[in-house]
Amino acid sequence: MVSPKKFRPRMLREVIGTLVKAPATVNYPLEKPETPKSFRGRIVFDSKLCVGCKMCMRDCPSGAIRIEPTEVEKRFKCAISLDRCLFCAQCVDSCPRKALATTPEFELTCFGRKGFQDLHK
């Protein structure tokens, strides 16, 4: 066991050293961290490019995507369940027309289950 006489100077040295060092973490809510180029965040859908092949639905391992036709001819809407999405980007890779894309957005919190449903028209 360390005696208090030896412990106090060591503790004081550690406290003073910590005060003059730069912070080890990012001040998150105030400073947004940079995401890497290969980061897979929120999935976005472009209805103008979608042909309704449903390859994204077929390849999604968690079944988080639904593609449905709209009233507008040859247009489709995409519903992505963010609570089921694994953010694996398999849907993005499988889309032949590149109607789906990933974004660097990572702040996806919401207050209710309804907020997890992303409906793109």
3-state secondary structure labels for all residues of 17-64: HHHHCCCCCCCCCCCCCCCCCCCCCCEEECCCCCCCCCHHHHHCCCCC
Q: Which domain holds residue 76?
A: 30-120
Check whether 3 has a pLDDT greater than 50.
yes
Is residue 18 a part of any domain in this protein?
no
Q: Is residue 102 part of a domain?
A: yes
Residue 76, C-beta contacts closer than 8 angstroms, at least 6 positions apart: 47, 50, 51, 52, 67, 68, 69, 70
Average pLDDT, the chain: 86
This prediction has a pTM of 0.69
**pLDDT tops 90 at residue 53:** yes
In a domain, 88, yes or no: yes
Residue 63 belongs to domain with CATH number: 3.30.70.3270
User: In whole angstroms, what is the distance from residue 10 CA to residue 120 CA?
Assistant: 59
pLDDT in tens, 67-91: 998 888 788 999 998 889 999 999 9
Q: How many domains does the chain have?
A: 1
In a domain, 37, yes or no: yes
7 domain residue, yes or no: no
In a domain? residue 71:
yes
Q: What is the mean pLDDT of residues 22-37?
A: 83
CA–CA separation, 41 vs 59, rounded Å? 18
Structural domain includes residue 25: no
Look at residue 51 and tell me if it is in a domain: yes
Give the pLDDT band (50/70/90) at residue 121: very low
